Structure 1
Amino acid sequence: MFTIDDLADRLGGYLPQGEIQQVKRAFYYAEQAHDGQRRRSGEPYVTHPLAVANILANMHMDHQSLMAAMLHDVIEDTGVGKEALARQFGAPVAELVDGVSKLTQIAFEDKAVAQAENFQKMVLAMSRDIRVIIVKLADRLHNMRTLGALRPEKKRRIARETLEIYARIASRLGINTIRVELEDLSFQAIHPMRAERIKRAVSSARGHRRSAIRQIQNTLQQSLDDEGLAGTVVGRQKHLLSIYKKMRDQRKSFNEIMDVFGFRILTEDVDSCYRILGVVHNLYKPVPGRFKDYIAIPKANGYQSLHTTLFGAGGMPIEVQIRTREMEAMANNGIAAHWLYKAGQTDHPIAEGSRARARSWIKGLLEMQRHAGDSLEFIEHVKNDLFPDDIYVFTPKGDIMELPQGATVIDFAYSVHTDIGNSTIACRIDRHLAPLSTRLESGQTLEIITAPGARPNLAWLNFVATAKARSAIRHALKHQQHTEAVQLGRRLLNKALAAFETSLEELPEGPLPELLAELGLKNEDALLESIGLGSRVAHVIARRLVDLQHGEETAPGPAAARQQGPIVISGAEGMVIKFARCCHPLPGDPVVGHLSAGKGIVVHRAECRNLAELGDDPEKLFPLEWAREIDEDFPVALRLQVESRRGLVAELAGVVTDADANIERIGIEERDARLATVNLTLAVRDRVHLARIIKRLRNLSHVERISRLGN
């Protein structure tokens, strides 16, 4: 059994004696605090924190991280508080322990909310000290190693959470050794039979191919020695989950995947990496399109290496990775390499770069957290953001930006800055104008065109790929809707107050605060927003304000005062004025507004039959009027009865285009062998524009009848 003395011996290799004594003191404190507690397996509980500290010792973590590992369950599982730990071991250790500790079990509606809240707390702790997540990953790794004592369904739940969150975080921070083990242990817990079969097959295949692997390894090593290049060739093993994913996603058999031999060449410096690449390309022919240079452009987690695939003897594929020993340490330990190098009291640029990238990632998480509506939305953003494949694009100044596969122009704009994303109106890709929904490819140069008054579009949510863009767009749209609802609410309330011969600005100070307290609202904006979104009726609020002013029930003023004229709309009001899809109103149509709860004003044509059903509450219906100048297109639906003939759609499209309109949707229903019904949705400027289009369509010989739809 592994003991504290065994750990102390290992720590002696990189920590001073005084710090080792502090780690031992933390162990004895934890041992006393957990006295009498046992794990599900029956072992004393203190074996768990000791094992977590041992995992961190493999990564050469500092003494405070090791002390936090010893004490990480003390706050939750014993009567010891954070303040007591701070007095005993100092504030930094107490903060680390508090960050790693789980939340006290709150009565959440379901487990998903509880887990999301826990993760939010952990992100905040990470922002203060990145070591929190490293200790947490070591804690999760030991828990995964000892899942055996749990019920099968609980094993699967913990394993899925590990795959979705913790393994991805380990990947994002570049801690490859922990990521691989977490993924394989999770795979074994979720699919035990599949994992066992693959494990046996790997063992068998390795035995059969041992001589071939040794021969290739010796050939590569001999080539390096002949060229006088210092490099060590080692075999590279695929782990269980990666084999399973390739079999499933690429629909390959086990033998096809195991026929690819993997090797890694470790050398001393970057210059040697490129020299070795030349040697292996001379030895075996490279496969076109399979070379990646992660040294010149590192991955987001700091990973650096040269990757190439070669045609070996008999066409056998050989995958080779070439990297320096520092890059190897970085690939295995990621952000933890910062402490590995600090143990020698020398900071290393690779480790420092990784630390800077980790800080940048956590800053992005905090920004997402501020924008997210709730903890579940936040954790969904994090899952989407945790490490898809990357592409690399350039700014006009030549700076490299890293984005996930499938990212669009809008994702790029938000990755530069949230304000740039919010005000984007157009883009040039390689100096040519391109749609904002364009999927980006590596190597492209992007120039974003912005305008001061521009705002995000709801449609952007349909194609953005990054969590940062999605959360920023949602946040901006919520803010936009709030602003527009407040403005509309003010217009509606002033119109209602005009019936009492007053206005919001003319009311004395007393009635409004009194009404806000009565309704349980925080401020005037909250009241106006609820009116603008249709949750409260302006006329009722106006009457109550005037009653509070005079202390008695007040009748409206003369009819002339009450009829202050219709509300003027321009079609560009945004999210709180919408146009009914049932009747498609156009500028020039007589229109009526209906106040719909949570939506604001919905504009209908005055003859729309749906108004009869909505008219049961006359307070929610009021006249509207179109503005004189409207610079916007509106949808309108037409139905045409036509003779079936070849080239019909092209002919109709030509007429509509010549009339300076766009076809948004077209559908054809065959009625019989001679006649067909064509349903057209057009984008037009106004009623006059529509009349001109209909006149041109009627001039076509095969069009028998045209009607405008809208009940």
Structure 2
Amino acid sequence: MTTVDDLIGLVRAYNPRTNEKLIRDAFSFGEEMHQGQFRHSGEPYFTHPVAVAAILAEQQMDDATIITALLHDTIEDTKASFSVVEKRFGRDIADLVDGVTKLTNLQLSSTQTKQAENFRKLFIAMSRDLRVTLVKLADRLHNMRTIKAMRPDKQGQKARETMDIYAPLAGRMGMQWMREELEDLAFRVLNPEARNSIIRRFITLQRETGDVVEKITADMRIELEKNDIRAEVTGRAKKPYSIWRKMQEKDQGFSRLSDIYGFRIITATEADCYRVLGAIHQRWRAVPGRFKDYISQPKSNGYRSLHTTVSGRDGKRVEVQIRTREMHEVAETGVAAHWSYKNGERVENRFAVDPVRWVTALSERLDESHDHDEFLEAVKLEMYQDQVFCFTPKGDVIKLPRGATPIDFAYAIHTRIGAACVGAKVDGLRVPLWTRLKNGQSVDIITAEGQTPQATWIDIAVTGRAKSAIRRSLREEDRERFIKLGRELARVAFENVGKKATTKALRTAAKTLGIEGEEDELLARLGSAETTSREVVLAIYPELAERKGEEIEEARAVIGLDIDQVHRRAPCCQPVPGERIVGITFRGQGVVVHAIDCAALADYEDQPERWVDLHWQEGTHKSVNTVTFDMTISNDAGVLGRICTLIGEQKANISDLTFVDRKPDFYRLFLDVDLRDVEHLHRVTTALEAETNVSSIIRHRDPQRAASVGEVSKA
């Protein structure tokens, strides 16, 4: 295991002013907290946090991030708490450790709905402090390096999650080296045969052709010397997974895949980058369509470089990346370059993207809709795809994901332009709307008045912004037709059960079903078959689907009493089965049952010996639990009769009625209704709310009506 002195040595190499005492304290605290814990491999668990800290030290991260790595599992897996970490190491580090803990608990590869919500939480964590995500990525990297100790099924689960989420996330943050290693480690688990096959072919190729990388590197150095350009040249064979992916994308075998070697040339100045490009293109033939200028058009994560592919020695295609030393630091560490040190001082790399700005730029196009499919679609396109840069006729640059079409381009300019699009010209030539745009192309969108988005555009567009706008427009276009159809379906459904589909009834149903927009939105969903008429009817009259069971005697309704204790319901809160309850004992008089939130309980706070923990018997209770309603109704002929009929239809009984106020246009009254349980209460309330002549209805609770000690029922 890396010792504390080894770790401090790594940090001091780039930050001589490091707080050595605090790192030692964190090392000691973490080791103590994880004492007695072991990994699947049998190693002491603390070897893992130390390895994560070492990975981050190699990225020249600040002290707070290194210490967070050492402590990142303490709050989750040990007796340490947030307050303990805060007291010992400060609020900043405690917040970082807590952030990593919460990120660890996110199941990013879970169900669609939960995945969308957890991606939102991931973005929130990233926006608060990107160092939390950097620690989590380093944590995943070390876990993947040691994954062989896990069960095979767990290996597969972690590898798929790494390939789908963590590797692309590392790439989107500019940490290309980490993305490649994570992909390759996951590939080793998910498809070991393919990986071994590629490695064997590499060995055979090297045996047949010799060290191609060394030969081409030497050729490039000679060419640069001829042009009096000082630069560092390195080359390597691409990772097995990178080659496998190219084989799948191009549907080619290994023998036909040519650009399996990558070369990097690092220069002193930006001007030298373009001089190197000229020298390389003079010596070797450039492959058409494979040149990308990320210096003049950087990626949103700060990445800058010139990319070109040329036919090198023996006609082999080789990819060349050309960049300055500063650009290289950002390319290697991505947003982590924001925290980079030199000689103990934070040095601002002019190419490093400020993390706050970066996350904002990453999030700005994400659709705000609650539609989980649309949100995930937008997230994954924004985070995981490379970009292409296209131009408007005026020369403005529009950034789009790879595979974008003129429709995406139009919506990226403005939703109004996208909706009115009827065609497009690319580099002056008319093209179909499904054309895939390429880097550097000029796109001119043709619009027409009266044009509206077509349903087929959803399959053509690739950006979340375009897809969301198209779906929204199509919904609005069909909305009136669906509302009309939904109204007719509702009328028939309600008439089938002897009811009327009044505006208030539909609004009540919408509220019960949790549908925003009330009546029209409910009818639109009904007309488009998103909601069934049965669901709407049962939302107001659930008793139509009710099944009866054996009723529980009143004396057996409450569990938790002694065998000789008697009980009664408190008149102040009138608890009903299904609500949380507590009992208060009265000497010689038994127990009075209160709802757990009853205000009258405050009178007994200093008498805990009188409290009894109670709960209701499970099953069907008798309709003997009186609840008082405070109602305001229209002063019209027959209204009170209809209300009594409604309550009777819900199989409930009115035990008392008192008029509180009489006006020319309304009555206010207290209505006592005998009910079975909280579900029965909800049904009666919902049915009354749906009645047009009921202005308001609330459950009447009076904390002043303290429970009197009188006759009680035998328990």
TM-score range normalised by the length of the shorter chain? 0.5 to 0.7
Residue among 503, 508, 516 paired with 1:516: 508
Task: Name the residue aligned to 2:49.
Answer: 49
**CA distances 1:585-617 after superposition (whole Å, capped 9, x unpaired):** xxxxxxxxxxxxxxxxxxxxxxxxxxxxxxxxx
CA–CA separation in structure 2 for the residues paired with 1:259 and 1:267: 23
Sort the Cα spacing of 1:75 and 1:103 in 2 relative to 1 into closer, same or farther, 3 A.
same
Instruction: Name the Cα RMSD after superposition.
Output: 4.4
CA shift, 1:6, in A, is 0.8
Sort the Cα spacing of 1:149 and 1:411 in 2 relative to 1 into closer, same or farther, 3 A.
same
CA contact (8 A) 1:281 1:310 kept: yes
CA–CA separation in structure 2 for the residues paired with 1:96 and 1:64: 8
CA shift, 1:522, in A, is 6.8
CA contact (8 A) 1:286 1:311 kept: yes
Matched ranges for 1:87-166 at <5 A: 87-102=87-102, 117-166=117-166
CA contact (8 A) 1:426 1:435 kept: no
- DSSP 3-state at the match of 2:186: helix
TM-score calculated relative to the size of structure 2 = 0.65
Task: Name the residue aligned to 2:214.
Answer: 214
CA contact (8 A) 1:485 1:529 kept: no
Question: Is residue 345 of structure 2 the alignment partner of residue 348 of structure 1?
Answer: no
CA–CA separation in structure 2 for the residues paired with 1:112 and 1:514: 30
Matched ranges for 1:266-285 at <5 A: 266-285=266-285
CA–CA separation in structure 2 for the residues paired with 1:518 and 1:303: 50
Task: Name the residue aligned to 1:332.
Answer: 332
CA–CA separation in structure 1 for the residues paired with 2:516 and 2:234: 70
- DSSP 3-state at the match of 2:385: coil
Matched ranges for 1:548-627 at <5 A: 550-553=639-642
CA–CA separation in structure 2 for the residues paired with 1:237 and 1:107: 35
- DSSP 3-state at the match of 1:38: coil
Sort the Cα spacing of 1:306 and 1:109 in 2 relative to 1 into closer, same or farther, 3 A.
closer
Sort the Cα spacing of 1:15 and 1:442 in 2 relative to 1 into closer, same or farther, 3 A.
closer
Letter in 2 for 1:349: R
**CA distances 1:379-406 after superposition (whole Å, capped 9, x unpaired):** 4543344433433211343221121233
Moved more, 513-522 or 86-95: 513-522
Task: Name the residue aligned to 1:411.
Answer: 408
Task: Name the residue aligned to 2:360.
Answer: 359
**CA distances 1:181-238 after superposition (whole Å, capped 9, x unpaired):** 0011011011123323333443454465445543432232123223321112212221
- DSSP 3-state at the match of 2:44: coil
CA contact (8 A) 1:261 1:319 kept: yes
**CA distances 1:248-283 after superposition (whole Å, capped 9, x unpaired):** 443444344478554322111111111122222333
CA shift, 1:412, in A, is 1.9
- Structure 2 residue ranges without an equivalent (≥5): 495-499, 542-632, 644-715
Task: Name the residue aligned to 2:311.
Answer: 311
**CA distances 1:5-38 after superposition (whole Å, capped 9, x unpaired):** 2111111123354534333333333223323221
CA contact (8 A) 2:391 2:440 kept: yes
Letter in 2 for 1:383: K
CA–CA separation in structure 1 for the residues paired with 2:37 and 2:50: 14
- DSSP 3-state at the match of 1:169: helix
Sort the Cα spacing of 1:548 and 1:389 in 2 relative to 1 into closer, same or farther, 3 A.
farther
CA contact (8 A) 2:127 2:356 kept: no
Task: Name the residue aligned to 2:518.
Answer: 526
- DSSP 3-state at the match of 2:45: coil
Letter in 1 for 2:425: I
Question: Is residue 393 of structure 2 the alignment partner of residue 401 of structure 1?
Answer: no
Residue among 359, 373, 382 paired with 2:371: 373
Moved more, 456-465 or 153-162: 456-465
CA–CA separation in structure 1 for the residues paired with 2:113 and 2:516: 33
CA contact (8 A) 2:411 2:417 kept: yes
Task: Name the residue aligned to 1:392.
Answer: 389
CA–CA separation in structure 1 for the residues paired with 2:143 and 2:279: 45
CA–CA separation in structure 1 for the residues paired with 2:102 and 2:432: 46
CA contact (8 A) 1:422 1:476 kept: no
CA shift, 1:154, in A, is 1.8
Sort the Cα spacing of 1:260 and 1:85 in 2 relative to 1 into closer, same or farther, 3 A.
closer
CA contact (8 A) 1:61 1:339 kept: yes
CA–CA separation in structure 1 for the residues paired with 2:107 and 2:637: 42
CA–CA separation in structure 2 for the residues paired with 1:64 and 1:457: 52
Matched ranges for 1:254-269 at <5 A: 254-257=254-257, 261-269=261-269
CA contact (8 A) 2:390 2:439 kept: yes
- Structure 1 residue ranges without an equivalent (≥5): 498-502, 555-711
Letter in 2 for 1:237: A
Sort the Cα spacing of 1:212 and 1:125 in 2 relative to 1 into closer, same or farther, 3 A.
closer
- DSSP 3-state at the match of 1:551: helix
Letter in 2 for 1:551: L
Residue among 425, 428, 436 paired with 1:429: 425
CA shift, 1:108, in A, is 12
CA shift, 1:287, in A, is 3.6
TM-score calculated relative to the size of structure 1 = 0.65
Sort the Cα spacing of 1:311 and 1:446 in 2 relative to 1 into closer, same or farther, 3 A.
closer
Task: Name the residue aligned to 2:694.
Answer: none
Task: Name the residue aligned to 1:583.
Answer: none
Matched ranges for 1:454-465 at <5 A: 457-465=454-462
CA–CA separation in structure 2 for the residues paired with 1:328 and 1:99: 29
CA contact (8 A) 2:130 2:355 kept: no
Moved more, 65-74 or 169-178: 65-74
CA–CA separation in structure 1 for the residues paired with 2:284 and 2:507: 82
Aligned residues: 538
CA–CA separation in structure 2 for the residues paired with 1:240 and 1:336: 26
Sort the Cα spacing of 1:196 and 1:336 in 2 relative to 1 into closer, same or farther, 3 A.
same
CA–CA separation in structure 1 for the residues paired with 2:110 and 2:357: 36
Sort the Cα spacing of 1:146 and 1:478 in 2 relative to 1 into closer, same or farther, 3 A.
farther
Sort the Cα spacing of 1:225 and 1:529 in 2 relative to 1 into closer, same or farther, 3 A.
closer
Sort the Cα spacing of 1:437 and 1:241 in 2 relative to 1 into closer, same or farther, 3 A.
closer
CA–CA separation in structure 2 for the residues paired with 1:259 and 1:409: 30
Matched ranges for 1:77-88 at <5 A: 77-88=77-88
Task: Name the residue aligned to 1:227.
Answer: 227
Sort the Cα spacing of 1:318 and 1:449 in 2 relative to 1 into closer, same or farther, 3 A.
closer
Letter in 1 for 2:350: P
Task: Name the residue aligned to 1:701.
Answer: none
CA contact (8 A) 2:420 2:450 kept: no
Letter in 2 for 1:196: N
Moved more, 407-416 or 514-523: 514-523
CA shift, 1:461, in A, is 1.5
Task: Name the residue aligned to 2:673.
Answer: none
Matched ranges for 1:159-178 at <5 A: 159-178=159-178
